[in-house]
Structure 1
Amino acid sequence: MGAEKEIDVLARTLWGEARGEGLAGMIAVGWTIRNRVELDLRNDGKPDWWGEGYIGVCQKPWQFSCWNKNDPNYPFLSGLKPIPAAEFAKARQAALAVLEGKQPDPTAGATHYYAKSMKTPPGWMKGARPTVTIGNHRFFKDVP
């Protein structure tokens, strides 16, 4: 896969997950993806459960809900419906900022996050270390 495809998939993921959070929120979500891409769980050199590479991490089933086929964002992410050009341009700007390291990691190494609006926090956060809250998202690392 080429770099352009990685940029596109990351930008679509940021749009689907955090378009309401502004550029800073999209960059934060982008860094959780980058942190997963760069982290080798168990330092074993084997593929990690959350996927490999930007495309693999973004599109790993049940990791980023916007890619779930039953999610209302999926028709936009899959290309069945167009993402508004100005919104996608902002998501692409955030994706490039993350990929090129133009912005430092505002999440302090987070690999997970959830929206504060969720009625029930996800089970994975038990034992995880919170790092920061940015907008409507709470970020975590060291998720068991």
Structure 2
Amino acid sequence: MSTTAPSPTRLAAQAAAEELLARILYAEAGQRPVRAIEALACLALNRAHAALATAEARTRFAGDAAPETLPRAVIAVLRAPFQFPVRHPQHERHALFAAPIEGDAALAVCRRIAGRALRGALPDATRGALLWHDLLRQPGWSLGRMPTLEAGGLAFYRLEGL
């Protein structure tokens, strides 16, 4: 039986996806309970899986990128405009995304969660959620919808049809 080692490109994409996801988690939810951080990681993975599956999801969640692997799909989703507000330079917590505080315990937690999520070792408590918002704000699209999960001040929703 022959075993082939993962290519350096695949390993680089995996590491890049983990670090980008960890930074998003840290800036968006690092001060929240672990369950909320895990749920946000699951949402990012759900969007990446959806982007791999359909053109509609690629347009909606990955900025029309056409990734071929899960790590590349995660990167496309995390880089797409309007998906995660902390990526915008004017966002109040953008600095935590751009330059995370090394040695911060919350960053270490977010890195562990990102790694677990990308290895498929994180159960999806959101039950396939593709949409989310902070409970302090109620966007119009959420009116009349039932969240699949509320955790740590975040609400998660499924999106039927994708």
What's the TM-score once normalised by structure 1's chain length?
Answer: 0.84
Q: Are residues 137 and 40 of structure 1, via their aligned partners in 2, closer, same or farther at CA, if it must alter by over 3 Å? A: same
Are 1:57 and 2:92 counterparts?
Answer: no
Offset, 1:38? 0.2
Query: Structure 2: which 5+ runs fail to align?
Result: 1-11, 66-72
Mapped contact 1:127–1:143 kept (Cα < 8 A):
no
For residue 155 of structure 2, give the secondary structure of its aligned residue in structure 1: strand
Give the partner amino acid of 1:135.
G
1:131 equivalent in structure 2: 148
Q: What is the correspondence of 1:14-53 to structure 2 with a 5 Å cutoff?
A: 14-40=25-51, 43-44=54-55, 47-51=58-62, 52=65, 53=73
Are 1:122 and 2:133 counterparts?
Answer: no
Query: Superposition RMSD on alpha carbons, in Å?
Result: 2.4
Are 1:112 and 2:131 counterparts?
Answer: yes
Which has the greater radius of gyration? Answer: 2
User: CA offsets per residue over residues 64-119 of structure 1, 9 Å max, x none?
Assistant: 1110110122223223xx4242221111011112111222100010011111112x
Q: Are residues 141 and 129 of structure 1, via their aligned partners in 2, closer, same or farther at CA, if it must alter by over 3 Å? A: farther
Offset, 1:43? 3.5
How many residues are aligned here?
140
What's the TM-score once normalised by structure 2's chain length?
Answer: 0.76
Query: Structure 1: which 5+ runs fail to align?
Result: none
Are 1:73 and 2:93 counterparts?
Answer: yes
